Amino acid sequence: MKIRYDIILLLACSVSLSALAQEKRSFWDHGLGKFLKSTDAMLDRMQEEGVDTNYIRKPKLSRMVYLGYYGYFQQHDMTFPVLVDNNDIPFTEYMPPNFSEKKYMKADMHTYQNELELGIDWRGISIELPIPIRNRYSMSFGLAKNGSVWGARIRYKSLRNMEGILDDAYNQATQQWVDNFANETHDPAITSESTIPAGQIDLKIFYIEGYYVFNNKRFSLAAGAYGDMVQKRSAGSVFVMGNYYQSRFGANDLFNYDRDIFFNKKFSLGAGYGYNWAINGGKLCVHMSVIPMISIWNNLYHHGEDFSSPYEYAGTSTDPTERANQIEAERQLWSNYDAHYYDAVDNGRSRFMFNCFGRVAVSYSFGRYLLNFLANYRQYLYRNNADTKINNREADVQINFGMRF
């Protein structure tokens, strides 16, 4: 009987020791927890690796939760002259006397987005939860790595509910010609701008870019733009940047086709300068940078679907064969008009253009709290020797209030 009690006591001690060992083996000592802990330690080392600590240091508390406002504005406009010769239009005696002044088309679109953001910044890596206030984007996403030495960004946006202003001077002038012909008058064309209804235009934008900072030991972009690091003493640096950009602008019933699509693709290279002005040991940091770029490749491709003429192709005869012949004769009258309407878009030779990227930021630290303001501006331009123009300008503003831990 005594031996049996000893065995039971030994088993009980064994279970107790096993349970105690399991308690000491916490989540951070194995599996996912151990991986996260080692990753955190690696990011901690990377923040100050290779930097001059007389100029740059990491915050004592380098993790942060924040609440912020994000505002985004996009403007996209396109202008092209209509290179139809006056002789390409039949019955020129009914042409409006100011017809030559109206030989252009222009569409101007803009939209904006407002949202709140809840985010966590873990040693320079941010995850954000957007809370839309006003958003016309059917899809928008981005991925970025913003480092002190190098960085990269990918961005895609799709907008389907844009509104805009249409100045279709040429189409209105041509309609005036049709009215003059029908009424045997010689009235000038009186044109005006009109609002483009939502859903009639759409825009898709994609770009990918990368940059390199030369004076990365003494100048920190992360400190100036986001407050992830502390710029103890003022310093600046030269940047180099490469950028690939493409836009796809679609228009329904605006120009000479029922559906027009304009693809603009470009590759740009540039160099610029950034500066961090550190005040009171870096508690306040003001950042400014600008990078002008030149488009070394800039291409425009146009595609049209179906056809809509200002003149109605409708024969007056009741005989089907004769009516078909009348419609064909009407098409022939406008054949040169149709052929040259998009000449400035389809046959123009692209020119080198300057694009640019600029940034202004202010970060203020007080205790474990951070107040950060950041504004970015981007400009992408297209021109050709036929004076076709496409301008895309976008700006965003962020205001974040964060608490470090």
pLDDT tens, position by position, 240-291: 999 999 999 999 988 888 899 999 999 999 999 999 999 999 999 999 999 9
In tens, the pLDDT along 154-212 reads 989 898 777 899 999 998 998 898 899 889 899 999 999 999 988 899 999 999 999 99
Does residue 9 have a pLDDT over 70? no
Closest CA to 345 of 75, 74, 76, 84: 84
Least confident among 22-26, 191-195, 219-223, 383-387: 22-26
Q: What is the pTM of this model?
A: 0.80
pLDDT for res 92: 79
pLDDT for res 119: 84
Residue 350: pLDDT band (50, 70, 90) is: very high
Average pLDDT over residues 334-345: 80
